[in-house]
């Protein structure tokens, strides 16, 4: 009986130790997932500042110098000691660096996809369209960069008013003056960009263009090693923190 009890204790200890070893192995393997060249790159660049062009004032992602993207970059700094200096630029203007956070039609294999977003139509009168073919004879505000694609979706009876940036496009939803040439019945914009207006102006999405999407991506040009490092870090970070951070900044974009 004593022998069986002793054997049971020994087996239990072995099982616990084995469990700890296995857990430690997986934890260390995650830490050591970087290749030798990647580890060397990290050590060589810890004391350097890495410039990156960041599309500014995107609700949830980069609004007022805060957001999901900055949360990720701060996490990289804490984990690896890499420091990033963000150079802000407006949508439609030229970015200053080869490392850039931007909007593209579709993320490439080398891009780090931060968010895939679809376009929506928001009408001042909150009218809801169930069929895209019913969207006719309205005056719609769109970004100049999006005009070509929007024309593929809308009937020719609709009048498009071009805006240089989404801030001015957003302001057009507030204008009620019929004499203003930029007065519109509604706007077509990425859902993430118009979210704040939906809450503040008590508006509703009139139609969702589910197939009309753009990708917010982090692109690293000319440095495959850094690109690989950030991809691995983003994969780990997004698994743990993406949903929580997204919801946090979604709430902040509404109340601020």
What ranges do the domains of the chain cover?
Answer: 1-32, 35-115+215-255, 117-213
Q: Are 99 and 48 in contact (CB under 8 A)?
A: no
Domains 35-115+215-255 and 117-213 share a fold: yes
- 8 or 75: which leads in pLDDT: 75
* Topology given in CATH for the domain delimited by 117-213: D-Maltodextrin-Binding Protein; domain 2 (3.40.190)
pTM for this structure?
A: 0.80
Q: Could you identify the residue written with the tokens 């005009």? A: 147
- Which residue in 185, 131, 132, 190 sits closest to 160, CA to CA? 185
63-81 pLDDT per residue, tens: 888 899 999 999 999 999 9
- CATH superfamily for domain 35-115+215-255: Periplasmic binding protein-like II (3.40.190.10)
pLDDT tens string 41-66: 999 999 899 999 999 888 899 988 88
75 class by beta-carbon count within 10 Å (0-12 exposed, 13-18 middle, 19+ buried): middle
């Amino acid at each position: 009986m004593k022998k069986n009890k002793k054997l049971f204790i020994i087996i239990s200890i072995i099982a616990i130790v084995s469990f700890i070893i296995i857990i430690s192995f997986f934890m260390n393997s995650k830490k050591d997932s970087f290749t030798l060249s990647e580890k060397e790159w990290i050590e060589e660049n810890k004391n350097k500042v890495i410039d990156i062009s960041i599309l500014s004032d995107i609700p949830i992602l980069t609004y007022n110098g805060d957001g999901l993207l900055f949360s990720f970059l701060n996490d990289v700094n804490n984990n690896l000691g890499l420091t990033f200096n963000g150079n802000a630029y407006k949508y439609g203007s030229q970015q200053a660096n080869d490392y850039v956070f931007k909007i593209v039609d579709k993320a490439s294999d080398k891009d780090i996809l931060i968010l895939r977003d679809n376009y929506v139509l928001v009408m001042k009168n909150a009218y809801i369209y169930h069929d895209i073919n019913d969207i006719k004879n309205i005056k719609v505000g769109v970004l100049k960069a999006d005009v070509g694609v929007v024309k593929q979706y809308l009937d020719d009876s609709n009048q498009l008013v071009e805006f240089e940036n989404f801030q001015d496009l957003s302001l057009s939803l507030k204008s009620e003056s019929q004499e203003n040439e930029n007065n519109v019945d509604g706007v077509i914009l990425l859902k993430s960009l118009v979210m704040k207006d939906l809450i503040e102006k008590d508006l509703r999405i009139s139609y969702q263009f589910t197939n009309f999407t753009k990708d917010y991506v982090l692109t690293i040009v000319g440095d495959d090693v850094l690109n690989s490092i950030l991809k691995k870090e983003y994969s780990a970070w997004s698994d743990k923190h993406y949903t929580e951070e997204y919801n946090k900044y979604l709430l902040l974009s509404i109340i601020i």
